[in-house]
A and B are shown apart, each in its own frame.
Chain A
Amino acid sequence: MLRNLLATAAMASALIVAQPSLAASPPNMLVIGTNLTGIRTLDPAQNNARTVSELISNLYDNLVQLSPDDLKTLKPMLATKWSVSDDAKVISLTLRDDAVFQSGNPVTAEDAAWSIQRVIKMGQVGSTDIALWGFTPDNVEKLVRAKDERTLEIELPRPVNTDLVLYSLAGSSIGIVDKKTVLSHEANGDLGGAWLSANSAGSGPFALAQWRPNDVAIFNAQKAYWGGAPAMARVVARHIPESGNLRLQLEAGDVDVGQYLASGDLDALSNNKEMVIDNVPGLGFYYIALNQKDPDLQKPKVREAFQHAFDWKAISGNIMRYTGFPWQSMIPRGMIGAPDEAASRYDYDPAKAKQLLAEAGYPNGLKKVLNPSGAATLPFAEALQASARVAGLDLDLVPGEFTPAFRERKYEVLLGNSGARLPDPFAVATQYAYNPDNSDEARLGSYYLWRAGMKVDELNTLVDQSMKERDTGKRTEIFKKMDSVYSGMDAPLVIFFQRTDPYVMRSAVKGYHGHTTWSTRWHDVTKE
């Protein structure tokens, strides 16, 4: 019996070891190790989060695009040229004539119009940006229309800076879908939403070959792509939630690009000559949210105390090394109206925090519940808990996923991070400074200031103005004013870092550039 056992074991190990060394990722295939958790659907109209935006941007083309290294200049994509009417009410885009969907249908202005109408009518998270311009399910069919086969007209229902509108057209949610194909799979009037969650019908350089939620997404190159066939014949996005595992696979060459690696693994990989870490700045911040529905947190001195209760310097060189840089202004660095430097507005000063608390009526400190928005912000929250303790703030840390609770205003102190897709301070301002209706019934969950429970009319006006103003110089002034109002009011959203997203890739991978607006494209990727 033992002899049989040994024989089986020997045979099994021989089988395994005799594998051809296809371990390394093949030269014409790009393997991305990432986290696919929570991606319910691949329908552009239903998405705007980071990972899925990347996947969608390669299945679907947009009308216009922004290259990763120049976020101000719009470049042609499906539209070759565009113009704005003199009264700034109508944008006309001329589409190229050689773009073809993966089904073989040509890309027409009708597809473009329908795609945009669809986003508005479905009203999912994909419509967050474009709905800002005043499109509603009732008016969108009239306002967004195909003038002819090659011309798309977008009429704006209210005065808006047209650059902003064009920026929103470059977002992955407004990928142009194949109207005929999608409608042929419509069920129960869902505009094809159910079918599109696991299938693709775009004109992008890749088509969806396989999709297994929380496991793997496989893309095949489209040779007939109008921009030329991509060098990668296949792209595989693999769900590798364990950072240590992903790192081992990167080092072994099984994976070419890694996302969502933990700080420890990033530190180790930074010493590896075969690895390149691209730290892409994001359009968002790490912040502490203080629920203004809580009577203690309403007091301005308490809010000010929180500004001095966090030792952000201690973590900026280690935990935050790859995920953010110190920044304390609501205008992202490098954007119009941004201050030159914003890392010294408030410092860690526990004594001052204690004093402020005493002045506010809490001489013995304050006890509150602290929630991280999710697993990503937990270490940040732990650091906050420790430094706040010295300042007299006893924060009871309850881990978990609290973004839904945040949206419902059911929290006390929350630590979160945000992201946006429009490369303009207006996007961030909408999140952090805008709140037209502070009532509970309004349920304005997409505005962080509503989630924090504060309404500032002056900021509302400034945000509105920044949306309508056409002159760049004037907009710069508006944003500067916004910044000074915000920092002077002891805001309930205390900003500490501007977010960065690290992308790790093997040095053999060329042409892969993580995009600030998350529309990372694979068309130009090659491997040496």
Chain B
Amino acid sequence: MANADLVSKRNSDTTFSEEEVAYVAPHPLAIILRRLAGRVVAIVTTLLGLLFLTFSMGRLLPADPVLAITGPEVSKEVYDRVYNELGLGQPILVQFLSYVGRVATGDLGTSATTGQPILTDLLAIFPATIELAVIAMIVGALVGVPLGITAAVRRGTVIDHVARIVALAGHSIPIFWTGLMALFVFYAKLQLVGASGRVDVFYEGLVTPITGFLLIDSAVEGQWDVFQSALGHIILPGAILGYYSVAYISRMSRSFMLEQLSQEYIVTARAKGLGRRKVVWRHAFRNIRVQLLTIMALTFGGLLEGAVLIETVFGWPGLGQYLTRGLQMNDMNVVMGAVLTIGAVFLTINILSDVLYRILDPRTR
């Protein structure tokens, strides 16, 4: 009878029964480990999913993987032999697993169009895109953050609206148009910047690649003329790519700043007579710095997207051009390798920004 049980339980409230045990908190290390394990499982499954996506993309491409290796002029015997070597007759799951195995050892296949192993190609061009994205991020932050903050401070006014349109324009206008127009103005008419590649032809090969970032490498070696040339070549595509991200950065800055400005401590500070500029920059800005950092990290992924289009316009030898060309030439391994790299970078950034946020934001500790 239910009621009787309830009564008896209540009566025995003061003493512990055998089932109930004093609450012992689990060891903090156990918590951390469990959380870590959960995260690792999540990351691994996401990675596998990524691999599966790239694998299926590659297999669906209308390109013959055998011909990619042998070249188009091939006899039937050679064709069959390579077909079997590649395991193309086996079930999809087996092929996928062997693909995963190869990727794990760094074998991403060979490119049909460059003849090099994909990994070699990627190692050569990856720094170019990263360098471009970093410059773009700096430009995006330098323009986007003040823009967003100003819009927040002057909310509702014309300045707010204009700032919003200017920011959104960066994301709405096709980036290849802005790129070519900018080249026309700054290169052809004003001759301020370089046009193709990462550095003037005159300086090709003069700097030994240490990090792969021309700006760093040339500065480290003290070759300032190369540095200048590299800067002149990266500033335009970097600025345009940066403008592409200004929309997101400025909107988030604006909303963060608005959140801060509506807080009580701001009202108090203003009531105390502190100048607006000090309030905004010394106090409110300090509090949103962490959030802005994570926003920066997230925009990085969007920059990779913009890089795909802008690298072709500027002849920038990076990942974006690599992918676009691979798609046009139906080079399956290139597409798979490039998409996988971009996906992996994106994933890493998301994880890092998550971690960064947890570490830096005192509220979540």
Asked whether A210 and B312 contact (CB < 8 A) given A17-B192, A37-B325, A407-B72, the answer is no
Contact check: which of B71, B197, B200 meets A215 at CB < 8 Å?
Answer: B197
Min CB gap A213→B, angstroms: 4
Chain A interface: which of B18-26, B83-91, B229-237, B349-357? B229-237
In the assembled complex, the Cα of A37 lies from the Cα of B235 at a distance in Å of 25
Contact check: which of B64, B113, B228, B328 meets A16 at CB < 8 Å?
Answer: B228
In the assembled complex, the Cα of A212 lies from the Cα of B321 at a distance in Å of 14
In the assembled complex, the Cα of A209 lies from the Cα of B71 at a distance in Å of 26
Min CB gap B229→A, angstroms: 7
Chain A residue with Cβ nearest B71 = A124
Asked whether A26 and B202 contact (CB < 8 A) given A242-B315, A404-B67, A404-B72, the answer is yes
- Residue A445 CB within 8 A of the other chain: yes
Q: Is the CB of A244 within 8 A of B180?
A: yes
- Residue B13 CB within 8 A of the other chain: no
- Residue B225 CB within 8 A of the other chain: yes
- Residues in B neighbouring A436, C-beta threshold 8 A: none
Chain A interface: which of B100-108, B182-190, B255-263, B298-306? B182-190
Min CB gap B288→A, angstroms: 13
Asked whether A210 and B71 contact (CB < 8 A) given A216-B197, A245-B315, the answer is no
- Residues in B neighbouring A218, C-beta threshold 8 A: 204-205
In the assembled complex, the Cα of A239 lies from the Cα of B318 at a distance in Å of 13
- Residue A375 CB within 8 A of the other chain: yes
- Residue A394 CB within 8 A of the other chain: no
Asked whether A245 and B313 contact (CB < 8 A) given A1-B281, A19-B232, A125-B71, the answer is yes
Chain A residue with Cβ nearest B114 = A213
Q: Is the CB of B72 within 8 A of A445?
A: yes
- Residue B116 CB within 8 A of the other chain: yes
- Residue B201 CB within 8 A of the other chain: yes
Interface 0/1 of B145-169, CB less than 8 Å to A: 0100000000000000000000000
- Residue B362 CB within 8 A of the other chain: no
In the assembled complex, the Cα of A428 lies from the Cα of B312 at a distance in Å of 35
- Residue A214 CB within 8 A of the other chain: yes
Q: Is the CB of B113 within 8 A of A40?
A: yes
Chain B stretch 195-237: residues in CB contact (< 8 A) with chain A: 195-197, 200-202, 204-205, 225, 228-229, 231-232, 235
Interface centre among A123, A212, A239 (most CB of B within 10 A): A212
Chain A stretch 248-263: residues in CB contact (< 8 A) with chain B: 248-249, 251-252, 254
Asked whether A236 and B204 contact (CB < 8 A) given A242-B312, A245-B183, A252-B188, the answer is yes
Chain A stretch 394-446: residues in CB contact (< 8 A) with chain B: 400-401, 403-405, 407-408, 441, 443, 445-446
Interface 0/1 of B123-139, CB less than 8 Å to A: 01000000000000000
- Residue A10 CB within 8 A of the other chain: no
In the assembled complex, the Cα of A125 lies from the Cα of B67 at a distance in Å of 13
- Residues in A neighbouring B235, C-beta threshold 8 A: 12, 16
Chain B stretch 308-324: residues in CB contact (< 8 A) with chain A: 312-315, 317, 321-322
Asked whether A240 and B315 contact (CB < 8 A) given A19-B232, A214-B325, A218-B205, the answer is yes
- Residues in B neighbouring A39, C-beta threshold 8 A: 114
- Residue B264 CB within 8 A of the other chain: no
Q: Is the CB of B328 within 8 A of A401?
A: yes
- Residue A96 CB within 8 A of the other chain: no
- Residues in A neighbouring B71, C-beta threshold 8 A: 46, 124-125
Chain A stretch 5-63: residues in CB contact (< 8 A) with chain B: 5, 8-9, 12, 15-23, 25-26, 29, 31, 33, 37-41, 46
Q: Is the CB of B146 within 8 A of A41?
A: no
Asked whether A254 and B195 contact (CB < 8 A) given A213-B115, A443-B76, the answer is yes
Chain A stretch 100-132: residues in CB contact (< 8 A) with chain B: 123-125, 128
Q: Is the CB of A23 within 8 A of B191?
A: yes
- Interface range on chain A: under 10, 10 to 19, 20 to 34, or 35 or more? 35 or more
- Residue A192 CB within 8 A of the other chain: no
Q: Is the CB of A401 within 8 A of B196?
A: no
Chain B residue with Cβ nearest A128 = B73
- Residues in B neighbouring A213, C-beta threshold 8 A: 113-116, 121
Min CB gap B3→A, angstroms: 70
- Residues in B neighbouring A23, C-beta threshold 8 A: 191, 194, 200
Q: Is the CB of B184 within 8 A of A248?
A: yes
Min CB gap B349→A, angstroms: 25
In the assembled complex, the Cα of A246 lies from the Cα of B197 at a distance in Å of 12
- Residues in B neighbouring A15, C-beta threshold 8 A: 228, 231
- Residues in B neighbouring A244, C-beta threshold 8 A: 180, 183
Min CB gap A388→B, angstroms: 24
In the assembled complex, the Cα of A275 lies from the Cα of B240 at a distance in Å of 31
- Residues in B neighbouring A246, C-beta threshold 8 A: 196
- Residue B15 CB within 8 A of the other chain: no
- Residues in B neighbouring A40, C-beta threshold 8 A: 111-115
Q: Is the CB of B204 within 8 A of A16?
A: no
Min CB gap B38→A, angstroms: 40
- Residue B142 CB within 8 A of the other chain: yes
Contact check: which of B195, B285, B325, B328 meets A252 at CB < 8 Å?
Answer: B195
- Residues in A neighbouring B328, C-beta threshold 8 A: 375, 401
Interface 0/1 of A197-208, CB less than 8 Å to B: 100000000000
Min CB gap B264→A, angstroms: 24
Min CB gap A60→B, angstroms: 18
- Residue A241 CB within 8 A of the other chain: yes
In the assembled complex, the Cα of A216 lies from the Cα of B201 at a distance in Å of 9
In the assembled complex, the Cα of A301 lies from the Cα of B343 at a distance in Å of 53
Q: Is the CB of A20 within 8 A of B205?
A: no
Contact check: which of B75, B111, B115, B229 meets A443 at CB < 8 Å?
Answer: B75
- Residue A475 CB within 8 A of the other chain: no
- Residues in A neighbouring B285, C-beta threshold 8 A: 1
Q: Is the CB of B196 within 8 A of A249?
A: yes
Question: Which 9 A-B residue pairs are closest in the complex by CB-CB distance?
Answer: A40-B115, A213-B114, A215-B317, A248-B188, A236-B201, A38-B113, A249-B195, A19-B228, A210-B205
Binding site for A on B (CB under 8 A): 62-64, 67, 71-76, 111-116, 121, 124, 142, 146, 180, 183-184, 187-188, 191-197, 200-202, 204-205, 225, 228-229, 231-232, 235, 281, 285, 312-315, 317, 321-322, 325, 328-330
Other 9 A-B pairs with CB < 8 A, given A210-B205, A239-B317, A248-B183: A5-B142, A29-B201, A40-B114, A213-B121, A214-B113, A215-B317, A244-B180, A245-B315, A404-B330
A sample of 23 inter-chain contacts (CB < 8 A) reads A1-B285, A15-B231, A19-B228, A21-B191, A22-B200, A22-B202, A29-B201, A37-B329, A38-B113, A40-B115, A125-B73, A209-B205, A215-B317, A216-B201, A238-B196, A242-B312, A244-B180, A245-B313, A252-B187, A401-B329, A404-B63, A405-B62, A407-B72
